[in-house]
Chain A
Amino acid sequence: MDTLEKKSHDGFSIIELIIYLAIFSLLALALSSVFWQVLQNNNRQLAITELMANANLISHQIELNVKNAQSINQPASPGQTANQLSLAMADSSINPTIFNLQDQKINLSQGANPSQPLTSDRIRVVNFTTTNLTSSATSTLGIIKLSIDLESNNPASSIFRPTTFSFTMSISLRQ
Chain B
Amino acid sequence: MPPSRGQSLIEIIVAMAVFVLAISAIFAISGSSFKNSQKTQEYFLAKEIAREGVEASRAIRDNNWANLTNGDHGLTINNNQWIFQGTEDDVSAQLPQGKRKINISDLGTDRKLIVATVAWDNGGASIDQLQSSTILTNWQKTTVPPSYCHGAARACDTFVASPTCSTQDGCLWTNAFSGATTNPGFTSNSTGWTGADWLWRATTETRVATGGNPGGFIRIRVPKTRNILGGGYWRQAFTTTVANPTATVSFDWKNIAYASGGTVTAYVFVDTESGVPIIGTQVWSQTITANTVWASVSSVNVSNKVATAGTYYLKVAYYVAGGSSNVGPFTIGFDNVQLNWSKTGSCSGTPTTCDIFLTQTTCQAQLDCQWIP
Q: Is B41 touching A78 in the complex (CB atoms < 8 A)? A: no
Q: Is B44 touching A168 in the complex (CB atoms < 8 A)? A: no
A162 within 8 Å of B by Cβ? no
Partner of A143 from the list B34, B79, B82 (CB cut-off 8 Å) is B82
Q: A31 vs B33: C-alpha distance in the bound complex, in angstroms?
A: 20
B69 within 8 Å of A by Cβ? no
Q: Is B63 touching A59 in the complex (CB atoms < 8 A)? A: no
Binds B, one of A41-49, A99-107, A110-118, A152-160: A41-49
Residues of A within 8 A of B41 (CB): 48, 52, 165
Q: Is A133 touching B59 in the complex (CB atoms < 8 A)? A: yes
A27 within 8 Å of B by Cβ? yes
Query: Which residue of B is nearest A66, CB measured?
Result: B55
> Distance in Å from the Cβ of A33 to the closest Cβ of chain B?
10
Residues of A within 8 A of B44 (CB): 52, 55-56, 167
B142 within 8 Å of A by Cβ? no
> Distance in Å from the Cβ of A161 to the closest Cβ of chain B?
13
Partner of A78 from the list B23, B34, B64, B80 (CB cut-off 8 Å) is B80
Residues of A within 8 A of B273 (CB): none
> Distance in Å from the Cβ of A70 to the closest Cβ of chain B?
15
Query: Which residue of A is nearest B83, CB measured?
Result: A135
Residues of A within 8 A of B82 (CB): 133, 135, 143, 170
A83 within 8 Å of B by Cβ? no
Q: Is B19 touching A171 in the complex (CB atoms < 8 A)? A: no
Partner of B27 from the list A34, A52, A137, A166 (CB cut-off 8 Å) is A34
The residues in B between 205 and 233 inclusive whose CB is less than 8 angstroms from any CB of A are none
Interface string of B31-51 (1 = CB under 8 A from A): 001100100110011001101
Q: A144 vs B48: C-alpha distance in the bound complex, in angstroms?
A: 13
Residues of A within 8 A of B33 (CB): 41, 45
Q: Is A172 touching B58 in the complex (CB atoms < 8 A)? A: yes
Q: A42 vs B26: C-alpha distance in the bound complex, in angstroms?
A: 12
Interface string of B81-94 (1 = CB under 8 A from A): 11000000000001
Q: Is A143 touching B59 in the complex (CB atoms < 8 A)? A: yes
Q: Is B26 touching A169 in the complex (CB atoms < 8 A)? A: no
Q: Is B80 touching A133 in the complex (CB atoms < 8 A)? A: yes
Residues of A within 8 A of B51 (CB): 169-171
Partner of A169 from the list B52, B80, B81 (CB cut-off 8 Å) is B52
Q: A136 vs B48: C-alpha distance in the bound complex, in angstroms?
A: 24
B77 within 8 Å of A by Cβ? yes
Interface size on A, residues (CB 8 A): 36
The residues in A between 128 and 162 inclusive whose CB is less than 8 angstroms from any CB of B are 132-138, 141, 143, 145
Residues of A within 8 A of B64 (CB): 137
A64 within 8 Å of B by Cβ? no
Query: Which residue of A is nearest B1, CB measured?
Result: A9
Q: Is A170 touching B63 in the complex (CB atoms < 8 A)? A: no
Q: A112 vs B103: C-alpha distance in the bound complex, in angstroms?
A: 43
Query: Which residue of A is nearest B47, CB measured?
Result: A59
Q: A48 vs B42: C-alpha distance in the bound complex, in angstroms?
A: 12
Q: Is A143 touching B58 in the complex (CB atoms < 8 A)? A: yes
Q: A171 vs B53: C-alpha distance in the bound complex, in angstroms?
A: 10
B68 within 8 Å of A by Cβ? no
Interface string of B9-20 (1 = CB under 8 A from A): 000000000010
* A133 with B81, Cβ < 8 A, contacts A143-B56, A168-B52 known: yes
Query: Which residue of B is nearest A48, CB measured?
Result: B37
A17 within 8 Å of B by Cβ? no
Residues of A within 8 A of B126 (CB): none
B62 within 8 Å of A by Cβ? yes
Most chain-B Cβ atoms within 10 A of its Cβ — which of A37, A78, A167? Answer: A167
Query: Which residue of A is nearest B16, CB measured?
Result: A27
Q: Is B59 touching A135 in the complex (CB atoms < 8 A)? A: yes
Query: Which residue of B is nearest A41, CB measured?
Result: B30
The residues in B between 90 and 117 inclusive whose CB is less than 8 angstroms from any CB of A are 94
Residues of A within 8 A of B48 (CB): 59, 167-169
> Distance in Å from the Cβ of B185 to the closest Cβ of chain A?
65
Q: A170 vs B94: C-alpha distance in the bound complex, in angstroms?
A: 14
Q: Is B26 touching A38 in the complex (CB atoms < 8 A)? A: yes
* A38 with B30, Cβ < 8 A, contacts A55-B44, A78-B81, A79-B80 known: yes
* A133 with B58, Cβ < 8 A, contacts A167-B45, A169-B52 known: no
Q: A136 vs B59: C-alpha distance in the bound complex, in angstroms?
A: 11
A30 within 8 Å of B by Cβ? yes
Q: Is A138 touching B63 in the complex (CB atoms < 8 A)? A: yes
Query: Which residue of A is nearest B77, CB measured?
Result: A133
Query: Which residue of A is nearest B36, CB measured?
Result: A45
Residues of A within 8 A of B40 (CB): 48, 52
Query: Which residue of A is nearest B45, CB measured?
Result: A167
Q: List 18 A-B contacts (CB under 8 A).
A: A27-B19, A30-B23, A34-B23, A45-B33, A45-B34, A56-B44, A78-B81, A135-B81, A137-B63, A137-B64, A143-B59, A145-B52, A167-B45, A169-B48, A169-B51, A170-B55, A172-B56, A172-B62
Task: Enumerate the 4 nearest inter-chain pairs by beta-carbon distance, A residue then B residue, closest first.
Answer: A79-B80, A170-B52, A143-B59, A135-B63
